[in-house]
Chain A
Amino acid sequence: MNGVKNLTKKALFLPIFCMILVLLINLAKSPTFFSVAIQNGVLYGRLIDILNRGSEIAILAVGQTLVVAVSAGTDISVGSVMSLSACGCCMMLAGYGVNSATQLAVPMIVGMLFGVLLGGVSGAFNGTLVAKLKIQPMVATLILYTAARAIGLLLCDNQITYIRYEPYKYLGNFLPGFPVPTAILVTIAVVAVVSLLLKRTALGLYVQSVGINSRAARISGINSDQICFLCYLLCGLCAGIAGIVASSRIYSADSNNIGLNYELDAILAVALGGNSLAGGKFNMAGSIIGAYTIQAITTTLLAMGVSTDQAPVIKAVIVVLIVVVQAPVFKAWMSRRSARRLALASAATEQGKGMPVK
């Protein structure tokens, strides 16, 4: 019994448990779930699909984890910022006012960097409001949640902008001759860079210190405001990168639909990852596993006939279940129940042994 309890207390228990659960459900429904084949020179299979399409969520989850840890708040603007960055990129590449381009107005890398830059600017905007002006994260990011999409729409002159230029599709699909979906590579790169930053520098320690007690962190010499700002900036950059990837998949910028509801997925990933939404200590690996679990859930739901508009119902229920289980009040209630059961059990054993019950 003690062994199981110790297992559940491990940081990665929740995300791994959920992931295994979802995979098993899928396996039960379709035995070929784990099969991976190479067709047309690229990797195919349901698993690959999940890893591929979950890339945006994983990238968002990286940034969101930092934001949650440092400020106990959530950045709800990430979906809209994805849209903004996609629109910015496509507008740059096609030229303003052009809604379908076969030739690029500027080099592809410039357009993409511009998109990521817009993400960074959004992150900086959120960071300034939260870190410098001390505004609650949920409201500060609510501003861009509305405005970013609208600005993106304006950038693209209220139309869907198509980039019908082959190399643009590489990022969201496949590089010529390379079997692994490019999005997976991008995700690996982002995760690697951030992990390096957290482990090789003191950033991880700083983020947790600021998240737990920003005043004490400041007195101890940490620039709390700067660290908080940095986390929101990184989150914005992640949203920018995710936006470019999403845009590349459909070689266009559909302002109303790119990134739609992705903020829920990102926050869900962080919560599923075992991270406390109250900030402080965090576990990046958990968030990433959580992100792919969410994608697996989305794919499973689609396979079961639940459309993308309807899927949020299930996800909402899952979010609630996770936060309920994580809630200190619930944990306290559970431990009281098990303590009572234990006491009753020991009393019964004592009686059985013929010893007086206390």
Chain B
Amino acid sequence: MDEQVLITMRDITKTFPGVVALNHAQLTLRKGEIHALMGENGAGKSTIIKCLTGVYERDDGEIKMDGVEGNIYNHSTQDAQKIGIATVYQEVNLCPNLCVAENLFIGREPKTKLGTVDWKTMFKMAQKLMDDLDITIDVTATLEHFSIAIQQMVAIARAVSMDCKVLILDEPTSSLDEKEVEKLFSLMRSLKQKGVGILFVTHFLEQVYEVCDRVTVMRNGKFVGEYNIDELPRLKLVAAMLGKDFDDLAAIKPEGATSTSDEVVLDAEGLSHKGTIKPFNFKIRKGEVVGVTGLLGSGRSEMVRCIYGADKAQSGTEIMHDKKLKINAPIDSIKSGMGFLPDDRKADGCIGDLSVRENIILALQARSGMFKRIPRAKQIEFADQFIDILKIKTASRETPLSQLSGGNQQKVILARWLCTHPDFLILDEPTRGIDIGTKTEFQKLVLKFASEGMSVVFISSEIEEMLRTCSRMCVMRDGEKVGEIEGEMTQESVMNAIAGGDKK
């Protein structure tokens, strides 16, 4: 094996009932490099990693690692850890009720001569470990006191302390703000210097270009290509992921301002929710598409949750179609003609064991009330209608939602809201974790609904996406709406607005 190569995976195949997740996939990781792993949903990124780390057992293929004899078969995460492969997931896998030091050393606590846990030594070692990595926190404090970003770094510190040769970071930046991302990157770079091979699984194109050396692209379970980042134009990368040319997205620029009427659909004044969003005003007209932008944690989701009533507004008024609204719970908003696609579809959207049909008609049923059941024939009609319109890939309308892929689940949740024919639809990160192909579809749909008279709020962490669909943007900062921008918008002007060059 080549001196610099750390891991080679070749001809990896893995099937699940009815689905070929990996089809002769391959991956090469070198020492001291940060290697991005990219691909749309269903590409096989998480599957190939799970085969490497012992969560899954592969059906076929060869994994070789520098310094380890022969073909590697990891049957558990412990096996993987023993040969130096560590993973840090997005949901931090530590124990929140234990202190930081203990989290760092669980399973290998320093022992006294009697064989009991040596707390003093553990605290000392933990403090040194964190200091060495430039993370200054009190290691005796309980983990749950710290932010997700810090918790993630503790997880990485644990991996480092176990002499990992390969560090896999699975979507680590999704919950971090810019400062925290920078901190993570500097940590990654220092690990790179030490010769650790880092596998960075992510959706964020910019981050890949900022910190990675090489990238492996996968699609539909197959290996597409491995490229050096500094020789790879963005266009070519996306093309590799999509398998086609990049024109599709470019074609979505809104033709000037889409003809929005002057009729104000929703007028909210002084809405606020304690602890999440400070008092704000919000207006939207018929057929308008408004974006909400800002750094992570600036209050984007909180603002729309407040408008919708998912978090009950504690002050202010909302007027819809000239009628004052009294919103105590989401059902009130639904009855007024609002719809809300939450950003966390697993926690707030999917009802996994129910069928696609039941999931689609759920909000409509809630609006009709418990005692007015929607007849089964009607339910079937609605379900079929939306499976067609949104091109939902499912075996049948009775398939449990949990058996669909992420992107199709998202489509079903969207169908749930479209079924209620809302006048005002809020889409909070509808394209997060979705492949580029489906992303494009969603954006086209949004513009279509707007042209048919629906008012839409569109939130995305990718500003470019919002620029393509929105005619106006609300700017959030630190839990407060600080302004709006409209007219000619560019990425630069939006960033300026977020940073502080805003105009009310």
Contact = CB atoms under 8 A, between A and B. Distances in A.
Q: In their complex, do chains A and B touch, with some C-beta pair under 8 Å?
A: yes
Interface of A: 200-203, 205-206, 208-209, 212-213, 215-223, 280-281
7 contacts: A201-B370, A201-B371, A202-B369, A216-B347, A216-B350, A220-B330, A280-B353
B373 A213 contact: no
Given A219-B340, A220-B366, A281 B353 contact: yes
Contacts of A205: 354, 358, 362, 365
A288 B352 CA distance: 26
A228 B14 CA distance: 41
B348 interface: yes
B135 interface: no
B370 A213 contact: no
Which 4 A-B pairs have CB atoms at the shortest separation, nearest pair first? A221-B366, A221-B331, A221-B334, A220-B363
B367 interface: yes
Contact of A221 (B330, B347, B353, B372): B330
Interface in B109-125: none
B370 A219 contact: no
B349 interface: yes
B353 A212 contact: yes
B352 A213 contact: yes
Nearest to A211: B353
Contacts, number: 72
Contacts of B411: none
B370 A215 contact: no
Given A202-B373, A205-B358, A222 B366 contact: yes
B337 to A, nearest CB: 12
Contacts of B366: 220-222
B499 interface: no
A254 B370 CA distance: 40
Task: Tell me what chain A mostly uses at the interface: helix, strand, loop, or mixed.
Answer: helix
A200 B330 contact: no
B329 interface: yes
Contact of A208 (B329, B354, B369, B372): B354
Given A205-B358, A205-B365, A220-B363, 12 more contacts: A202-B365, A202-B370, A205-B354, A209-B354, A209-B358, A212-B351, A212-B354, A217-B351, A220-B366, A221-B363, A280-B353, A281-B354
B429 to A, nearest CB: 14
A219 B371 contact: no
Contacts of A209: 351, 354, 358, 362
Contacts of B369: 202
Interface of B: 310, 329-331, 334, 340, 342, 347-354, 358, 362-363, 365-374, 416
Contacts of A280: 353
A215 B349 CA distance: 8
Greatest chain B CB density within 10 A among A200, A205, A221 is at A221
Nearest to B335: A221
A218 B351 contact: no
Contact of B349 (A219, A223, A281): A219
Contacts of B350: 213, 216
B352 A223 contact: no
Greatest chain A CB density within 10 A among B351, B352, B367 is at B351
A220 B334 CA distance: 8
Contact of B331 (A200, A208, A212, A223): A223
A237 B350 CA distance: 32
A207 B368 CA distance: 16
A219 B339 CA distance: 9
Contacts of A202: 365, 368-374
A180 B334 CA distance: 50
Nearest to B362: A220
Given A201-B370, A212-B354, A223 B329 contact: yes
A218 B308 CA distance: 12
B349 A216 contact: yes
Given A200-B373, A205-B358, A205-B362, A221 B351 contact: no
A229 to B, nearest CB: 14
A182 to B, nearest CB: 31
Contact of A201 (B329, B358, B373): B373
A209 B366 CA distance: 11
A202 B374 CA distance: 8
A65 to B, nearest CB: 16
A139 to B, nearest CB: 19
Given A208-B354, A212-B354, A219 B348 contact: yes
A226 to B, nearest CB: 9
A212 B347 CA distance: 11
Contacts of B334: 221
A203 B370 contact: yes
Given A206-B370, A218-B330, A212 B358 contact: no
A221 B367 contact: yes
A217 B362 CA distance: 8
Contacts of A221: 329-331, 334, 362-363, 366-367
A212 B352 contact: yes
A98 B330 CA distance: 53
Contacts of B368: 202
B304 to A, nearest CB: 12
B348 A215 contact: yes
Given A208-B354, A221-B334, A216 B373 contact: no
A220 B352 contact: no
A223 B354 CA distance: 18
A201 B352 CA distance: 22
A299 B39 CA distance: 62
Greatest chain B CB density within 10 A among A201, A202, A208 is at A202
Contacts of A206: 370
Nearest to B352: A212
A220 B340 CA distance: 8
A53 to B, nearest CB: 35
